[in-house]
């Protein structure tokens, strides 16, 4: 089967980039299931019913979250009503769930949303949480397990890969909005530290650059603002996974607003 993971979708521009590209990507690459990190879809912060529905109508099958999951209160009801999950290792008592089990014509599989330690607020240990989840899933007969790991540091993501070699099918890093050049397959696990954002590409992590510059120049903080239109990028990762739950191929897709050509970058080896 082929799983498509779309990186952090930022604001209206990001939603439009997905809407204009996703159908073509799914058709050309024969995608079976599409996961999108949506914690920034509502003007950069959180998820609303309207913005989530835009993604579902565009062809997204599941929305994952991160540290901005709770920024819009209506997300709480949506977690029970829509295919939206939040990080598995949020503390006990948090609404929603962190694992989504689905079925294609041939494969039963699981998508897990996980969040890292650093600068993410109060969360449980992601390493312990994922080991328990994998034990539960494999006991239930699930062989294909793919993870959206929403984490601040590449070291933490690398450590998770080493911990889970041979135990899951794919790990797609999100959160930093900057795509990394370390796509690989390690003992059957497709991996990238960060997919990169979908949204405005010539500002700062998809946001209006004025506030980040002011913040770094003065140390004074105000809220970031998105830009609704401009030069955009669509970034995603395709993981091809066999019947044994092992990744056999993975590659990155980039699409720029001024170039209809999709650029595919194959994994750079592995071990």
Dist. CA 176–CA 142, nearest whole Å: 30
Token digits for 34?
């599409």
| Inter-residue contact 96 to 84 (CB < 8 Å) | yes
Would you say the C-alpha torsion 146, 251, 120, 160 has a positive or negative sign? positive
Dist. CA 208–CA 59, nearest whole Å: 28
Please give the positions annotated as active site.
68
Closest by alpha carbon to 87, among 110, 64, 56?
Answer: 64
DSSP 8-state assignment for residue 91: P
Angle at 183 between CA 177 and CA 187, to 5 degrees: 135
H helix or E strand, kind and range, residue 89: none
Dist. CA 144–CA 242, nearest whole Å: 8
**3-class DSSP state of 28:** helix
Q: Helix count (H) and strand count (E) of the chain? A: 6, 13
| Inter-residue contact 29 to 22 (CB < 8 Å) | no
Dist. CA 18–CA 82, nearest whole Å: 19
Largest Cα separation within the chain, whole Å, is 56
Tokens 């796509």, residue located: 183
């Amino acid at each position: 089967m082929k799983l498509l993971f779309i990186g952090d979708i930022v604001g209206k521009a990001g939603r439009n980039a997905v809407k204009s590209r996703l159908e073509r990507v799914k058709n050309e690459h024969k995608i079976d299931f599409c996961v999108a990190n949506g914690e920034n879809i509502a003007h950069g912060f959180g998820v609303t019913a309207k913005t989530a529905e835009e993604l579902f109508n565009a062809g997204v099958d599941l929305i994952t979250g991160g540290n901005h999951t709770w920024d819009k209160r209506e997300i709480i009801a949506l977690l029970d009503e829509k295919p939206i999950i939040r990080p598995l290792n949020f503390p006990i008592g948090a609404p929603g769930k962190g694992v989504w089990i689905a079925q294609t014509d041939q494969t039963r599989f699981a998508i897990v949303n996980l969040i890292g330690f650093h600068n993410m607020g109060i969360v449980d240990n992601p390493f312990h949480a994922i080991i328990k989840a994998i034990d539960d899933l494999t006991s239930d007969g699930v062989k294909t397990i793919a993870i959206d790991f929403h984490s601040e540091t590449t070291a933490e993501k690398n450590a998770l890969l080493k911990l889970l070699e041979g135990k899951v099918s794919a790990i797609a890093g999100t959160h930093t909005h900057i795509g990394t050049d370390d796509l690989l397959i390690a003992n059957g696990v497709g991996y990238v530290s960060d997919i990169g954002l979908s949204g405005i590409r010539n500002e700062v992590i998809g946001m209006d650059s004025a506030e980040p510059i002011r913040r770094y120049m003065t140390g004074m903080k105000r809220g970031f603002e998105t830009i609704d239109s401009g030069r955009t990028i669509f970034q995603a990762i395709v993981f091809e996974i066999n019947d044994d739950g092992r990744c056999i191929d993975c590659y990155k897709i980039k699409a720029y607003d001024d170039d209809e050509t999709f650029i595919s970058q194959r994994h750079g080896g592995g071990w």
